Chain A
């Protein structure tokens, strides 16, 4: 256990921000740290705080130093503050300050919006740890359990990264915001997390894989746009976080892929050729493909809501002020100010879906969401390759962006996954065709039995093709010691 009284913070917090020479911030973090550890113990992975987990720890940002693997207890994980190296001569990549040198300090006039952006990003990090805290107990293998915990500790590190920025650059308000990040709770009535998808439950492992695939991918896109920020410390922070975020995408994409793979294998073994014969497939103890499609529909649409309204003044300001760029802004070839540019935006008006051209600068959210959808489609294509390889006649798709939405122009619109507008009654009547219902949830839940023997996997999921850190198949990724 950590002795917070005698901790040498200088060595405890791996950092490349010169923490030992910054007494003020070091002191602020020292004060924040015990609260963080308490939060981790109360709301981090339940029941595994004393287990030894084979984790990757970043101790520096160069390729040789950021992937050190070892068995550690999660509360002893070295949450560090690591920023990608400063790029000399970097200039503001977009908006009215385009081409000016980036800011090393917070520009006064944008302080409030910048703080808001950091707080929203920061709030999602502990939220997902809270959402996933019960999953360890039903892990389908030690490999998967380890991946879950790796995602969790890295979300914790991302919280640290945002908290560092708040402490370092935002004075008293920053400190208060940092404290509040530990006070809000996912799903709480009184103090919920700031964004809707982060107050939903993650009840089972298929949901976890879908969440890391779809919702963490929203996180990736947000980080990508913040990595373009003219506020250089934020950009550098996010650039390094993206390197870690890639692992979360990996867990999601391969997790869903392995579920599909196992379903295909079992169907072929049993000679079932009709993927919609749900009962027959479920009797094999694997998850039927229509249910996987429904889960994807749910998580994809919840994640689309995270991008906010299609047309947004806040988003326009963030871009114009150089606080947030577009996806891969530095690789785009235009004026980077969007002075006269337009962008096609979908609108739901008078019961119709219409495409109109909006000023590109106010459609920043829409554009990022489109980039997100393109990115998300890549994995779906891979999943379909697995189906094709097993000769299973089924195709997974992403639903229309108007389907099942709560935020933006499509909020509450009765649109089917294929993009057809129907009546509200019909939509309600057919809801269970498209989204998981409680029976689907119960079935998936019934499969969630822990498999903790090294090298063994639950029967509803295929083993991975390669181990983490090239470890062999029977490697003990988690040495379980129940608290």
Chain B
């Protein structure tokens, strides 16, 4: 049998056909006839944007299925079908939770991380369809630590690690740019299990090596950081509880013509590593279509500095900004953007350009200012350019 998954459905007994959900759905996954309003399982990406506006609660219904109910079936319903019974083995294999649509706390975290885009963001039109919220706090997926490598030089203050988690036989579809949540063991001061912490995937959808069911995270050890210390101290073979995947907008376009401009600091490089690897696997011949602006204190504290240097500039055009070099003036990503003003302005005017910013919240202002200045010098208005890019799913910010 095919894998089990959670299908989003509308309870026809509660729905009043106000079509508010239909208006809230930006990808046209909700449709109706005279009688029922229904969700197209082929289109729904589980972003949950339709949940809050529904006045009835009818929208928040889910069934675990091995084969999706078709639109025709749903349109004929007077009431929701009972949940089918699957054998315990099947359920365990798929480890799909039924009890919650998603985690509001995580949705709020992601919304906050994406707020720097300055408005409602959309996924790139050609992006693959993401699955979200497959594993919840109540039924997390289990992964086993396959490797834990320090990325920053020994002796550097900053301890950033590349952690590889083996998913074994667990079905955990994921895309570059999505995040997963890690639940640290133990309980909080109120005796409740800890809430998951979010980490961007730094591996592409098909694993560290093609076809291997594992994923990697880029984790910086934070002083007092409960989850980061837990992760950074993990030993090979230990078991980790993973929830997610999360995020349905910060994704990469599949369009081979797409140009990617990626701006990051520190662990913000995680999704861009995944983007780059996916492109290397799917379009190894691509030329001059990826630009990276990457800031860190020094080469020793820049995650993936070694591997990055090996990627030819014709494939990934790299601009490193170092702020703590004894022999150089301080440089930040915004300075590197300004140095490449012509290139950046050219990208801004290209309808195939997708711009991504990822890293600490503090970088937003400097990057925005630089983009604004560059636009002005080239007789463009950044606000307008940005609004259009955002509307077309070509501008993405994820900062924390």
| Contact surface of A with B, Cβ cutoff 8 Å | 62-64, 66-67, 85, 88, 239, 242-243, 245-247, 249-250, 253-254, 378-379, 381, 385, 465-468, 470
Contacts and interface: CB of A to CB of B under 8 A. Distances in A.
B18 interface: yes
A63 B20 contact: no
Given A246-B54, A250-B18, A470-B60, 4 more contacts: A63-B48, A242-B23, A249-B55, A466-B14
Nearest to B111: A64
Q: Is the interface of A mostly helix, strand, loop or mixed?
A: helix
Contacts of A468: 57
A243 B24 CA distance: 9
B78 A385 contact: yes
B120 A465 contact: no
- Which 10 pairs across A and B sit closest by C-beta, in order of nearness? A246-B18, A247-B55, A63-B49, A250-B55, A67-B52, A246-B20, A466-B57, A246-B55, A253-B16, A64-B111
A389 B54 CA distance: 26
A318 to B, nearest CB: 23
A379 B16 contact: yes
Contacts of B108: 64
B142 interface: no
B107 interface: yes
Contacts of B23: 239, 242-243
Contacts of B78: 385
Contact of A254 (B16, B34, B388): B16
Contacts of A63: 24, 48-53
B56 A250 contact: yes
B351 to A, nearest CB: 14
6 contacts: A63-B49, A243-B23, A249-B16, A254-B16, A379-B16, A385-B78
Contacts of B150: none
A465 B13 contact: yes
A249 B18 contact: yes
A246 B51 contact: no
B336 interface: no
Contacts of B319: none
B20 A243 contact: yes
B384 to A, nearest CB: 9
B52 A64 contact: yes
Nearest to A328: B19
A62 B120 contact: yes
A290 to B, nearest CB: 25
A87 to B, nearest CB: 9
A243 B53 contact: yes
Interface in B207-252: none
B46 to A, nearest CB: 13
Contacts, number: 64
A467 B55 CA distance: 11
Contact of B387 (A64, A88, A385, A467): A88
B28 interface: no
Nearest to B119: A85
Contacts of B111: 62, 64
Given A85-B120, A246-B20, A470-B60, A465 B55 contact: no
Contacts of A239: 23
Contacts of A245: 18
B16 A250 contact: yes
A85 B118 CA distance: 12
B17 interface: yes
Scoring B17, B50, B391 by chain A CB atoms within 10 A of each residue's CB, the highest score goes to B17
Contacts of B60: 470
A36 to B, nearest CB: 25
A255 to B, nearest CB: 11
A107 to B, nearest CB: 24
A243 B19 CA distance: 9
Interface in B143-183: none
B17 A378 contact: yes
A242 B53 CA distance: 11
Interface in B6-58: 13-14, 16-18, 20, 23-24, 34-35, 48-57
Which of the listed residues B18, B48, B78 has the most CB atoms from chain A within 10 Å of its own CB?
B18
Contacts of A249: 16, 18, 55
Contacts of B54: 246
Nearest to B57: A466
Contact of A242 (B20, B57, B107, B391): B20
B375 to A, nearest CB: 17
Nearest to B120: A62
Contacts of B52: 63-64, 66-67
Interface string B53-71: 1111100100000000000
Contacts of B13: 465
Nearest to B392: A88
A67 B243 CA distance: 25
A242 to B, nearest CB: 7
Interface centre among B14, B54, B56, B388 (most CB of A within 10 A): B56
Contacts of A246: 16, 18, 20, 53-55
Looking at A247, A250, A385, A465, which has the most chain B CB atoms within 10 Å of its CB? Answer: A250
Interface in B243-283: none
B107 A64 contact: yes
A149 B246 CA distance: 36
B262 to A, nearest CB: 25
A285 to B, nearest CB: 25
A220 to B, nearest CB: 8
Contacts of B51: 63
Nearest to A62: B120
B14 A465 contact: yes
A88 B119 CA distance: 13
Contacts of B49: 63-64
Nearest to B48: A63
Nearest to A465: B14
B33 to A, nearest CB: 11
B303 to A, nearest CB: 31
B55 A88 contact: no
A474 to B, nearest CB: 17
Given A249-B18, A466-B14, A470-B60, A67 B53 contact: yes
Nearest to A248: B55
A371 to B, nearest CB: 13
A383 B48 CA distance: 29
Nearest to B56: A250
A247 B18 CA distance: 9
A62 B249 CA distance: 15
A465 B15 CA distance: 11
B34 A378 contact: yes
Contacts of A243: 20, 23-24, 53
Contacts of A66: 52-53
Contacts of B53: 63, 66-67, 243, 246
A88 B388 contact: yes
Interface in B106-147: 107-108, 111, 119-120
B101 to A, nearest CB: 10
